[in-house]
Amino acid sequence: MLMIFNLSIITFIIVFIMMLMATMLSKKTFMDREKSSPFECGFDPKTSARLPFSIQFFLIAVIFLIFDVEITLLIPLILTLKITNIFMYSYIAMFFIIILLIGLYHEWNQGALNWSY
């Protein structure tokens, strides 16, 4: 037990020293306009390199990801239907779907699903 503790302390010290050295060596000493501007074949850019981003699109994408992950959580419930009690299965599935519907209602109520221009 003492050997594991000593090895973990030594590992922690080595990692800490490496992180400290990396932060000290990676500091940039100067910033000028040419280095911080986007590179476009050696010429100054004609337009802004930053494109506007639609926050509505981002919210819809995040909501899609949330529901996509939750669908993958529902699939094992279907596979365990054979080995569980039908009452317990339906209770868990309905509870999970109700939580999803409450989240969807909240997003709808907050206006995240309204696509406004």
Tell me the pLDDT tens digit for each residue of 66-99. Answer: 888 888 887 887 788 778 888 888 888 888 889 8
Q: Is the pTM of this model over 0.75?
A: no
Residue 62 has pLDDT above 80, yes or no: yes
Closest to 74 (Cα-Cα) out of 59, 84, 89, 61: 89
Output b/e per residue, 64-75; b: 16+ Cβ within 10 A.
Answer: eeeeeeeeeeee
Q: How many residues does the chain have?
A: 117
Rounded distance between C-alpha atoms, residue 45 and residue 20, angstroms:
37
Residue type, 15: V
Rounded distance between C-alpha atoms, residue 56 and residue 113, angstroms:
8
pLDDT at 12: 94
pLDDT at 30: 58
Tell me which residue has tokens 């050997």. Answer: 3
pLDDT greater at residue 18 or residue 110: 18
Residue type, 19: M
Residue 104 has pLDDT above 90, yes or no: no
